[in-house]
Chain A
Amino acid sequence: MTSGQPEPVPGTSQGPAVRRARPGSLSSSVAALRDAFGPAIERHFMSSGQTVVYLDPNRSHEVLAWLKDTPGQEYNYLTDVTAVDYRDPERPLEVVYQLRSLGRKADLRLKVALDKRVPLEVQSVYDLWRGADWLEREVYDMFGVTFVGHPDLRRILMWETYAEGHPLRKDFPLRGHFSRAEQTRQALAANPEAHYSLEELSIAETYGELPKEMQERLARGERGFLK
């Protein structure tokens, strides 16, 4: 993707009802960023009137903190954190930050490109915006990006023992890696105590199939919260 406007839409010159929307102008933050950080700002381009800036993965936290606190920038609102995995397997995975300044009514999109041949890691922005908590967990869950410094980086939408990988990666098939039969088998083989209390198990139809040790505990009349 290069600088400048996207290609003209075919057919937009025909018919009075279809016109080009007003193009936006390049965010003034780009020049300020280049002055302040020089080589840490890799490249920028505009798409649909919105400014996108690529950051050096090792200095992303520093740049984002600067954008949040510097007078004249004041990007105090983290709209979104997400990631993009492109169809081209050679192309790096990108972590995307949507920033907004509520006071200045300005938006800026920042990207960090991560090489897929090495472990995917980027600094967490949890300490800058608490809103990044679940957003970063979701990116970790769906793309496998590790956010260094996040205090509670666990899967969020998939269950914590999910072993098939990261669903939104392009090398993950739409139906998942495991067949439905395999998924069912794994779910059944999982320790039932992890999901149900002893009390619930004692009345379940599958009582006879429970592990012997568990049956004994149930026979002794043990109830409730046990390790």
Chain B
Amino acid sequence: MTLRTVEMALATPGVDAAGTPTRIPLGISDGDGQYREDLGAEHMLVNIGPQHPATHGVLRLVLELEGETVRRCIPHIGYLHSGFEKLGEYRQYNQIIPLTDRTDYLSPMANNVCLALTVEKLMGLELTERCKVLRVIACEMSRIISHLVWLGTTGIDLGAFTPFLWSFQERERIYNLQEAWTGARLTTSLTRVGGLMADIPEGWEEGLREFTRTFPKTLTEVDTMFTRNAIWIGRTQGVGALTAEEAINLSLSGPMLRASGVDYDVRKDRPYLDYETYEFDVPIGEHGDIYDRYRVRLEEMWQSNRILEQALDRLERLKGAPINVSDPRVVLPPKSRAMGDMEAMIFHFKQVMEGVKPPAGEVYMGVENPKGELGYYMVSDGTSKPVRWRIRPPSFINLSSLPTMCEGALLSDVIAINASVDIVMGEVDR
């Protein structure tokens, strides 16, 4: 025994002097206290999470490994289950909006918009022009911040630290705009049925204009850093690939589906908020691997920037236009009128005490969220609280493809594949 091995044995707990790990059992006992020499030594169970930083939240994975190859991947979820759907059945429609903030907390404004659109579709409301433009801005800002988080954290998972700082700097600028508009950075609760909680403050457009002017510089830098980077390509190309048929069969949506070559974007195929009148392209991947998912998300940020520019142009024409529908049964009358005008006060009272009452019926409304298709399925019985509020969670359904993608991959690829799904556990567990 050399001095070096002795030092190693002392320095490395769990390894004996010969360098053999002692903590991993070499055999399995059937409970009779007798070890049988190696039944399971070829396959090893490894637990990752729920508090592992690379699982992007409280996701727990149990992996069955053969050497370094993953033979089976069993995800365990539910650590963040909050029962939002149940809670929604006890809330008035406008009171559900704060719950949507907390599902996909990386794009709260887009969730708010989806909920309002669902109830409005149930009621058959037609929105004002300015409201639609502002909601488009909210959705596209959300897309950019959500993709920036994805870009930064995935970069970190694969060993790239600098783009993380760049993306979080840019994200901070949007968060500042969000704060100026809604008063909150995370729990925005931006929309109300029939309109918005508030119009944008004076001079806010200039802030966003400045962002759309300077944001492409960061995107170009990220592009330079990643797209032709040998390490990035080596870690992502051909890893976790899904064909178009598989992606459709697994009900994937959003960038996950499009990276596999399926041309489906809710904004194009079932337009809402007049998305059909904006000029933008939908990036489609070819190989369905992590690299293509990266390319799709990066391009989507360029396209979102394009949509933001167009929306800002429209906003200029709509200066001073109303943001809410004019029906006092749907939207709260202004406080100044409610204090002086009898009728307005009655409507104010009814609104606060009872809330909006959509007719009996049901509706499914899907929107293109950064993670994929977010859908709210709402069943109303004509009262002010829904019978059922179902969230079709894109993260949850995309995550269900993880075992398929991980089988046969290497342990280190599991981290990359999991990152490429772009999950947010608040939405997976709801």
- Contacting A130 at CB < 8 Å: which of B249, B325, B363, B387? B249
Q: Which of B31, B81, B358, B375 contacts A227 (CB 8 A)?
A: B31
- A12: chain B residues at CB < 8 Å are 124-125, 327
Q: Are A50 and B326 in contact (CB under 8 A)?
A: no
Which residue of A has the minimal Cβ distance to B195?
A: A17
Is the CB of B148 closer than 8 A to any CB of chain A? no
Cross-chain contact of B400 among A1, A47, A133, A172 (Cβ < 8 A): A133
Tell me if B25 counts as interface (CB < 8 A to partner A): yes
Q: Could you list 5 examples of A-B contacts with CB < 8 Å? A: A17-B322, A79-B366, A80-B375, A86-B387, A130-B250
B316 within 8 A of A: no
**Interface flag for B270 (CB, 8 Å):** yes
**CB proximity of A194 to chain B, nearest CB, Å:** 13
Give the complex CA separation of A7 and B121 in angstroms.
13
Please give the distance in Å from B25's CB to the nearest CB on chain A. Answer: 5
> Contact: B361 with A48, CB < 8 Å?
yes
Q: How far is the CB of B423 from chain A (nearest CB, A)?
A: 13
The answer to whether B23 has its CB under 8 Å from any CB of chain A is yes
A99 CB, nearest partner CB in chain B, Å: 11
Say whether A174 contacts B31, CB under 8 Å. no
Which residue of A has the minimal Cβ distance to B83? A167
Given A18-B125, A21-B124, A157-B78, check contact A224 B397 (CB 8 Å). Answer: no
In the complex, the answer to whether A47 meets B251 with C-beta atoms within 8 Å is no
A50 & B23 in contact (Cβ 8 Å cutoff): no
A207 adjacent to chain B (CB < 8 Å): no
**Residue on A with the closest CB to B78?**
A157
Interface residues of A in 126-141 (CB under 8 A from B): 129-135, 138
CA distance A108 to B404 in the complex (A): 28
- Chain B residues with CB under 8 A of A15: 325-327
Assess whether A174 is in contact with B248, with CB atoms less than 8 Å apart: no
Q: Which of B84-92, B101-109, B158-166, B208-216 contacts A (4 or more CB under 8 A)?
A: B84-92
**Taking the complex as formed, is A89 at the interface, i.e. its CB lies under 8 A from any CB of chain B?**
no
Given A18-B326, A130-B250, A224-B24: A82 and B29 interface contact (C-beta under 8 Å): no
Do most interface residues of chain A lie in helix, strand or loop, or is the interface mixed? loop
- What is the CA–CA distance of A154 and B388 in the complex, to the nearest angstrom? 23
Collect the chain B residues with CB atoms within 8 Å of residue A10's CB. 329
CB distance from B80 to the nearest CB of A (A): 9
Residues of A at the B interface (CB closer than 8 Å) are 1, 6-12, 14-21, 47-48, 50, 52, 76-80, 82, 84-87, 96, 98, 102, 105, 107, 109, 129-135, 138, 142, 155-159, 167-168, 172, 174, 223-227
On chain B, the residues within 8 Å of A76 by CB distance are 248
- Looking across the interface, which residue of chain B has its beta carbon closest to that of A220? B33
Contact yes or no, A48 B86, CB < 8 A: no
15 further A-B pairs in the complex, CB-CB below 8 A; given A77-B248, A131-B251? A12-B327, A15-B326, A20-B124, A21-B125, A79-B251, A80-B364, A80-B377, A96-B377, A98-B364, A102-B262, A135-B251, A135-B397, A142-B85, A156-B77, A168-B85
Check A131–B250 contact: CB distance below 8 A: yes
Interchain CB contact (< 8 A) of B329 among A11, A21, A80, A157: A11
A82 to B86, CA, bound (A): 13
**Is A131 in contact with B400, judged by CB distance below 8 angstroms?**
yes
Q: Distance in Å from the Cβ of B142 to the closest Cβ of chain A? A: 21
Q: How far is the CB of A226 from chain B (nearest CB, A)?
A: 6
Is B396 within 8 A of A134, CB to CB?
A: yes
Contact B78 A159 (CB under 8 A): yes
Docked Cα-Cα span, A9 to B119, in Å, equals: 12
Is B7 part of the contact surface with A, judged by Cβ < 8 Å? Answer: no
Decide: A9 near B388, CB < 8 A? Known: A15-B327, A50-B363: no
Contact assessment for B325 and A18 in the assembled complex, using a CB-CB cutoff below 8 Å: yes
B199 contacts partner chain A, Cβ-Cβ < 8 Å: no
A142 CB to nearest B CB, Å: 8
